[in-house]
Amino acid sequence: MEETHYRSCNLCEAMCGLQIEVKNGTIHSFKGDPLDTFSRGHICPKGPELKSLYEDPDRLKFPIKKTEFGWEKVSWVEALSDIATKVVAIQSKYGNDSIAIYNGNPTVHNYGSMLYGQRFVSRIKSKNNYSATSVDQLPHQLLSYLMFGHQLLVPIPDIDRTQYFLILGGNPFASNGSLMSVPDVKKRLKAIQDRGGKYIVIDPRKTETADHASEHIFIKPGTDVFLLLSILHVIFKLKLNKPNPLLKPDDLTSLQNLVMEFSPEKVTNITGIPTQTIERISDEFAKSSSAVCYGRVGVSTQEFGALCQWLINCINTITGNLDTEGGAMFTLPAVDLVGEGSVMRSSPGSFNTFQSRVRNLPEFNDELPVSALAEEILTEGDGQIRALFTSAGNPVLSTPNGSKLEKALSGLELIVSFDFYVNETTRYAHYILPPTSAVEHDHYDLIFNVFSVRNTARYNQPIFSPEEGMLHDWEIFSDLTKRIELVRSGKELPKELIKTKLTPASIIDHALKSGPYGTKNNMEIQMSLELLKNSPHVIDLGPLKKSFPERLYTIDKKINLFPHVLHNDIPRLKSKFEQHLDQNQFNFPYLLIGRRHLRNNNSWMHNLPKLMTGKPRCTMMIHPEDANQLGIQNEEEVIVSSNVGELKIPVEITKELMKGVVSIPHGFGHNRNGTKQKVASQFSGVSINDLTDDQVLDEFSGNAAFSGIQVKITKISK
């Protein structure tokens, strides 16, 4: 029997359409869907590996429990009942905050897990709520909340119409775009050049994206904030700023006053970018018929990540490129998470309404920075964490100072992991609760439609039924949440699974029908789940449209160009500036940055053999002159050390890197005992997060600062 299925890939943010041929119950071929008007047939090497993931012999399908004899299979009911009982006992003994939760990145690629995971979090009622947000895009969401009144009003580059695209700290050729869902990004970037525009990359490494750019500019890691301030300085100085009725005059004056002292001459030595270059790109940007500045992981994960995202928004706004075609725009998705009155409206956000217990780090959107997780477990006292839930995450490899977190995990009373692998984090669990894999469950992209370069909608149906007795993430969360409520109210626990009629699909159906393209509108499209089920390819809802002031959710319906709380971070900025001007000498001569590769996906796809072919990827890149000075050869192993740890890694000598900068990819380090990923352990590599420091972060937002970690490199004497 032969069948063709269409759905989108949910591995990264690009949402590429897939055409999947199934013959006699197995996947025969995986191709890009040529009829998908959004991805236009594009896929990357990871997409087809959804098949390997589905067939991976190391993938867990049923719950396991750690016993003195090792891992043992248990029934769902036994596992979930025991966990519910323990949660209630731990919370009664130590208080609600004694249970912590960490949600990893794939949560947002799995709508069932997201919807039911959020309910679980709200019922646990602990302030120890963590996620990968605080090692990633927290500054973007924070600034959207502060400037536009909703954390998900994130400005998206209008890549298909812009004439000038200024990219800082993003490598879409490898990542396929982020906070910019953009399948087929290479062609879309080339199209800017073909229509006479430019795209410019500012990055300490001449990346794959930079290699094809109209211009690449090296920058010293961690100094983007000064570059951005000086771009604004030039724009104001040349009076290239444009009026905007949504701005408040006082804000503009404060911004102008702030940037006054950051002239290109003053920041050139700090950033390593020539004065004339800063002046030229500022001028080109402001004078272009349309332009957009965009900064991603490389600038969010810096000591001034929040200020960087703020200044990027300011550059777009004051040059007349916010909410305009070819600039930074806002989406209007079919399931609207932002609009007032939407049934699925998410919280607009919150900031610093409470702080972490040990270090007083600020909350954002009811979450604490994950850099605080280890110390919240290790530091004794009231409110200490005693138990942890992880869902779709691997914080031992993905958060700063992973080794410290490991020490912390080994002392917990209960760890429960929602995951289908025994990996570097879940090996510490007492229970692993494995969900179905992507091709066995349905999916509607709630999040990446909010960050997409076009408004689109599609519903992804499962390709295979899961094995008898397997559960989806949302079913596990749903049962466990109810079981905890039953224990709390002293009721007996049922001996069978607790089913719910409210499926994620039914929740979405209601949101689609009542949403912006729903049945109440007099539009051609009457959006519903039924419509999407009958549309095998993506439904295009058009390019991004101007949406302010209607979708601006600040109280006064104006843009907060200079949000008041940001003033609190200016003294820290100025003191760093002084430190730089003093030519402060560092003890550690090299600055370490990360990198991504098209065939990796954070820490978790290294067990798929086809993705692991080719040259070894876990190397430390270094410039030839630096290598020469250290007397090291290509592929030679060196010791890299930082404030928190050291590791041994082979060297890759390349002119791609700026001098004084070295780069190690994250997500490796599969050499720890007790994991069960055979392929990954053969390509183990080492973890950069054994060098990154949980104490170094953007103190204002709480986001981790991975870019520009100071390291020492030592040749191993023979």
Q: Which residues bind ligand SF4 (CB under 6 A)?
A: 9, 11-12, 14-16, 43-44, 46-47, 176, 183
Q: Can residue 36 be called a binding residue for Mo ion (CB under 5 A)?
A: no
- Interface stretch with Mo ion, choices 28-36, 132-140, 319-327, 545-553 (CB under 5 A): 132-140
State the nearest-atom distance from the C-beta of 450 to Mo ion, in Å: 15
The smaller minimum CB distance to ligand SF4, of residues 47 and 112, is found at 47
State the nearest-atom distance from the C-beta of 54 to ligand SF4, in Å: 14
The smaller minimum CB distance to ligand SF4, of residues 60 and 185, is found at 185
State the nearest-atom distance from the C-beta of 617 to ligand MGD, in Å: 11
Q: State the binding partner of 221 from Mo ion, ligand MGD, ligand SF4, none, CB within 5 to 8 A by kind.
A: ligand MGD
Near Mo ion by CB under 5 A: residue from 136, 158, 509, 652:
136
Residue 257 burial (10 A CB sphere; 0-12, 13-18, 19+)? exposed
Residue 717 burial (10 A CB sphere; 0-12, 13-18, 19+)? exposed
State the nearest-atom distance from the C-beta of 540 to ligand SF4, in Å: 17
Q: Can residue 563 be called a binding residue for ligand MGD (CB under 6 A)?
A: no
Identify whether the C-beta of residue 67 lies closer than 8 Å to the C-beta of residue 432: no
- Residue list 672-701, contact with ligand MGD (CB under 6 A): 688-689, 692
Q: Can residue 13 be called a binding residue for Mo ion (CB under 5 A)?
A: no
Q: State the binding partner of 339 from ligand MGD, Mo ion, ligand SF4, none, CB within 5 to 8 A by kind.
A: none
Q: Can residue 113 be called a binding residue for ligand MGD (CB under 6 A)?
A: yes
State the nearest-atom distance from the C-beta of 105 to Mo ion, in Å: 5
Closest CA to 348 of 547, 516, 146, 156: 146
Q: What is the largest CA-CA distance in the chain?
A: 76
Identify whether the C-beta of residue 362 lies closer than 8 Å to the C-beta of residue 702: yes
Near ligand MGD by CB under 6 A: residue from 18, 20, 121, 132:
132
Helices (H), 95-219: 111-124, 138-148, 172-175, 185-194, 208-211
Q: Can residue 590 be called a binding residue for ligand MGD (CB under 6 A)?
A: no
Task: Identify the bridge partners of residue 64 per DSSP, sorted by sequence position.
Answer: 73, 432
- Distance CA(550)–CA(570), nearest Å, equals 31
State the nearest-atom distance from the C-beta of 136 to ligand SF4, in Å: 16
**Distances 114 to 109, 120, 435, 624 between C-alpha atoms, Å:** 8, 10, 13, 46
Q: Can residue 158 be called a binding residue for Mo ion (CB under 5 A)?
A: no
State the nearest-atom distance from the C-beta of 315 to Mo ion, in Å: 23
Identify whether the C-beta of residue 288 lies closer than 8 Å to the C-beta of residue 603: no
Token representation of residue 601: 């996906």
- Residue list 429-468, contact with ligand MGD (CB under 6 A): 435
Q: State the binding partner of 43 from Mo ion, ligand SF4, ligand MGD, none, CB within 5 to 8 A by kind.
A: ligand SF4
Q: Can residue 12 be called a binding residue for ligand MGD (CB under 6 A)?
A: yes
Closest CA to 483 of 40, 77, 18, 131: 77
Q: State the binding partner of 172 from ligand SF4, Mo ion, ligand MGD, none, CB within 5 to 8 A by kind.
A: ligand MGD
Token representation of residue 77: 């009911």
Closest CA to 326 of 464, 418, 191: 191
Q: State the binding partner of 9 from ligand MGD, ligand SF4, Mo ion, none, CB within 5 to 8 A by kind.
A: ligand SF4
Q: Hey, what's the torsion of the CAs at 671, 672, 676, 680, to 10 degrees?
A: -20
State the nearest-atom distance from the C-beta of 476 to ligand SF4, in Å: 25
Identify whether the C-beta of residue 298 lies closer than 8 Å to the C-beta of residue 169: yes
Q: Can residue 419 be called a binding residue for ligand MGD (CB under 6 A)?
A: yes
State the nearest-atom distance from the C-beta of 414 to ligand MGD, in Å: 18
The smaller minimum CB distance to Mo ion, of residues 175 and 619, is found at 175
Token representation of residue 682: 């053969």
State the nearest-atom distance from the C-beta of 207 to Mo ion, in Å: 17
- Interface stretch with Mo ion, choices 129-137, 493-501, 626-634, 678-686 (CB under 5 A): 129-137
Closest CA to 313 of 329, 289, 332: 329
3-state secondary structure of 389: strand
Q: Do β-strands 661-663 and 590-593 pair in parallel, antiparallel, or remain unpaired?
A: parallel
Q: State the binding partner of 207 from ligand MGD, ligand SF4, Mo ion, none, CB within 5 to 8 A by kind.
A: ligand MGD
Q: Can residue 183 be called a binding residue for ligand MGD (CB under 6 A)?
A: no
- Residue list 248-277, contact with ligand MGD (CB under 6 A): none
State the nearest-atom distance from the C-beta of 612 to ligand SF4, in Å: 16
Identify whether the C-beta of residue 168 lies closer than 8 Å to the C-beta of residue 162: no
Binding mask 157-176 for ligand MGD (x = CB under 6 A): -----------xxxxx-xxx
The smaller minimum CB distance to ligand MGD, of residues 336 and 693, is found at 693
State the nearest-atom distance from the C-beta of 438 to ligand MGD, in Å: 7
In 311-413, the DSSP E strands lie at 328-329, 351-355, 362-364, 387-391
Identify whether the C-beta of residue 427 lies closer than 8 Å to the C-beta of residue 60: no
- Interface stretch with ligand MGD, choices 265-273, 388-396, 463-471, 566-574 (CB under 6 A): 388-396
Token representation of residue 712: 């020492």
The smaller minimum CB distance to ligand MGD, of residues 527 and 688, is found at 688
Q: How many residues bind ligand MGD (CB under 6 A)?
A: 63
Near ligand MGD by CB under 6 A: residue from 230, 288, 603, 710:
603
- Distance CA(593)–CA(608), nearest Å, equals 26
Which residue do the tokens 């539009």 mark? 523
State the nearest-atom distance from the C-beta of 418 to ligand MGD, in Å: 4
If you ran DSSP here, which 8-state letter would residue 236 be given? H
Report the helix count and the strand count for the chain, using DSSP H and E.
Answer: 22, 28
Q: Hey, what's the torsion of the CAs at 302, 303, 304, 305, to 10 degrees?
A: 40
Q: Among all residues, whose Cβ is closest to ligand MGD? A: 298
3-state secondary structure of 653: strand
The smaller minimum CB distance to ligand MGD, of residues 157 and 516, is found at 157
The smaller minimum CB distance to ligand SF4, of residues 233 and 596, is found at 596
Q: Do β-strands 709-715 and 292-295 pair in parallel, antiparallel, or remain unpaired?
A: unpaired
Near ligand MGD by CB under 6 A: residue from 104, 326, 339, 369:
104
Q: What is the 3-state secondary structure (H, E, C) of 583-629?
A: CCCCCCCEEEECCCCCCCCCCCCCCCHHHHCCCCCCCEEECHHHHHH
The smaller minimum CB distance to ligand SF4, of residues 304 and 459, is found at 459
Contacts with Mo ion, residue ranges (CB under 5 A): 136
Contacts with ligand MGD, residue ranges (CB under 6 A): 12, 104-106, 110, 113, 132, 135-136, 168-172, 174-176, 178, 202-205, 207, 219, 221-222, 224, 296-299, 302, 391-395, 398, 418-421, 423, 435, 473, 593-596, 598, 600-604, 666-667, 688-689, 692, 706-708
